[in-house]
Structure 1
Amino acid sequence: MAENKSIQVAGNEFLWDMDKGQLTFEGGDVVLFWISTAMKDFFDTLEEISGEEASKLVFETTGFRQGIEIGGYFEKFKTAGIAEAADMLMNLYATAGWGLVTVHNLCFEDKKVSLHLKDSWETKINLSQGKSQGTNFIAAHFAGVFSGLFGTNIWYKVVQDQVEGHEYSIVEYFPADVSVSENIHELARKKEAEQIGQLEGLVEEKTKELKQLIEQLSSPIIPVLEGIVVVPLIGSYDEERARQLIENTLYNLPAYKANYLVLDLTGLDENMGDHSVSMIEKMGSAAALIGIKTVLVGISAELGVTISNSGINLNKFDCFQTLQHGIHYALGQNGREII
């Protein structure tokens, strides 16, 4: 039979049962881990999988919930007075290797207290991780402990952190309506909002790229013969796309020394909106101001009905069924023909 060991440290008992491979501390099962290796790996893995922000909330929530259980378990200490109970608890944590914790500014009436924490196991992990800002497992843990001791919900504020180079950490505790469940839901909503924002940004970026591509590919100016250019109209046009087409066409027409602008309507949507019809009328009128005549080609029966129903009069422009007819007409007007 293996030899069992029991020792007393500052009034707290550690008991090793070698037959069961069991270690107990103050009557409860405990387990030992190396802080800067095994526990650091645990923190690193959790942060790697969950992300730093989510893992911080996990540490905080877990610490608080554990503290609630311990605060309720050690509520019996309050028979000696809340100050004595707090000191006894801090002594217990020091014995268990949680670091040096001292109680300051304890006020039971206001249910407020400050803790100074030095060389806690969490600080050692954070320092071994190379962090510039600590996690809040222990700070939230004691919020749970004092919630049990004070009999009301207690939250915390880290005033200074040893990880940031201070001699010790200072954490203030006070009554608050903050709940870890609300924090979890808030993070979930924040993550959801971030994902929506990322998707919206991606959609906006892709939409911008698509618009640029459409501008580059749609409605090019095609010089088919001397003095004649063709602009094919494709799809449907909103106000912005119509404006860009008019400006681009009129800006470039003089460079081709065009006398005739042939607008090919074959590729227009049959159910095109008023912007498309208005654009044709505006483009033709603007071209006339710089001495260029406009010819419309490719008007189907359905498209003709749409144009008629729009109330915009395009009768001032010469119209032909096909592009070939329109080009032959423009050539004829210039005193030329295709042989």
Structure 2
Amino acid sequence: MDFPKNDLPANPKKDVFGIKIEWDEADGSMRYAGETAMVMWVETAMKSFLETISEISGSQVANVVLETAGYRMGAIVSEFFKTGEIHDIFQTLPSVYRAAGWGLTTVSDYSVENKTAIIQVKDSWEYRINKIQSEGRDPAFLPGHFAGLLSNLYEDNIWYTIEKSQLNGDDCYEFYFSPSQITPTQNIHELTRAQEQREISKLEEMVEERTKDLRELVKEISSPLIPVFDDIVVIPLMGTYDDMRANELLHKTLDKLPEIKANYVILDLTGINDSVDEYMISLIQKMTQSAALLGSQCILVGISPKLSIEMTNANFTTRETHIGCYSTLKHAIMYALSQEGKQI
């Protein structure tokens, strides 16, 4: 970097493309077109600034942040242009951004009636930074900025599409602006939903893997009570239950529940779809009622249509003991985890 010697005149002024730039040596300020401004090195300071945003928030989030910041800044800057006729604004606009070092800016076409515009920018500061970073990412701040500016000028919501890209070998960037339902706020909400969905999918995959392990475990062991987590146990009911077997399972289970101190007892009824009889209905009712008396909440999983009909005919109710019902073991485990404020 070449720094000049301190031999400049006091409070120098410069006219660039018709834009007045002034410096005040006394307070160390700079004014661009009458407004306080600042200068930053693009390939060092600005590059480091954008890299920091990307490192902290991630590339996808950083892109939305830049696009939204550009849009809001453009809406503010538009107030500077609103002092003139809109046709004059489009004539002046390129000089303002060229003088500010934003790149070789050209308004190649526009329609006030249709609220559209085509803006071309060659070698913008954002393109230079992206090129140095070798990320292969098109500008987000610049088109977002012009979208915000035009939205305010046209008094309508304006968004953009990238028609030409210097990263793809074109001689400049060309942005087409037109009325749209897309907004920065919508992009933020979509990003948030996408992140939440990824987390949910990740949790579902982990629960699915754990559920598969549990299914294999159920096949291999004879114990009627399987601890899943500290406060959650699964009791698989399989096969045909007569009075003797039902009482044996009930007593074994209730003997262990106080030791485990489980808050949730999940009764997996998937294995009894073909073995529905009065003993089975009685067993389910006794286990849910007994578990509730011991301070555990029961969750029923895998109720078949046939079992549902028999339970209804037997006046089986889930209201008094607050019994939850789910179609799969995975969903029941996820529900119990959420109630405990936990996740896998």
* TM-score normalized by the length of structure 1: 0.65
Q: 1:211 to 1:267 in 2, by over 3 A?
A: farther
Q: Does 1:60 align with 2:67?
A: yes
Structure 1 residue 41, shift from structure 2 partner = 1.1
> Any idea what SS the aligned residue of 1:4 has?
coil
Structure 2 counterpart of 1:165, one-letter code: G
Deviation at 1:191, TM superposition (A): 1.6
Instruction: Describe how 1:1-339 pairs up with structure 2 within 5 A.
Output: 3-78=10-85, 82-216=86-220, 218-219=221-222, 234-235=224-225, 236-238=235-237, 268-270=249-251, 275=271
Call closer, same or farther: CA 1:187–1:275 in 2, change over 3 Å.
Answer: closer
Amino acid at match of 1:189: R
Contact 1:77 1:85 in 2 (8 A): yes
Between 147-156 and 207-216, report the one with greater CA deviation.
207-216
- What is the alpha-carbon distance in structure 2 between the residues aligned to residue 47 and residue 277 of structure 1? 53
Question: How many angstroms does 1:40 deviate by?
Answer: 1.0
Superposed displacement of residue 209, structure 1: 2.5
1:124 aligned counterpart, secondary structure? helix
Deviation at 1:265, TM superposition (A): 9.6
Cα deviation, 1:296-338, whole Å, max 9, x if unaligned, reads xxxxxxx9x959x9xxxxxxxxxxxxxxxxxxxxxxxxxxxxx
CA shift for structure 1 position 152: 2.1
Q: In structure 1, what is the equivalent of residue 310 of structure 2?
A: none
Q: What letter matches 2:42 in structure 1?
A: I
Find the residue that maps to 1:98 and give its secondary structure.
Answer: coil
Q: Report the CA distance shift for 1:206/1:267 in structure 2 as closer, same or farther (over 3 A).
A: farther
2:272 and 2:113 mapped to 1: Cα distance? 76
The answer to whether the 8 Å contact 1:143/1:156 transfers is yes
Contact kept? 2:67, 2:140, Cα under 8 Å: yes
Question: What amino acid sits opposite 1:91 in the alignment?
Answer: S
Gaps (5+ residues) in structure 1? 220-232, 244-263, 280-302, 310-339
Residues 268 and 135 (structure 1), Cα distance of their counterparts in 2 relative to 1, 3 Å cut: farther
- Between the aligned partners of 2:148 and 2:202, the Cα distance in structure 1 is 36
1:265, 1:51 → 2: CA distance? 56
Cα shift at 1:211: 2.8
CA 1:193–1:306 in 2, change beyond 3 Å: closer, same or farther?
closer
Shift of residue 267, structure 1, vs aligned partner: 8.0
Q: How many residues align?
A: 249
Show CA shifts across 1:268-320 (max 9, x none): 444787957988xxxxxxxxxxxxxxxxxxxxxxx9x959x9xxxxxxxxxxx
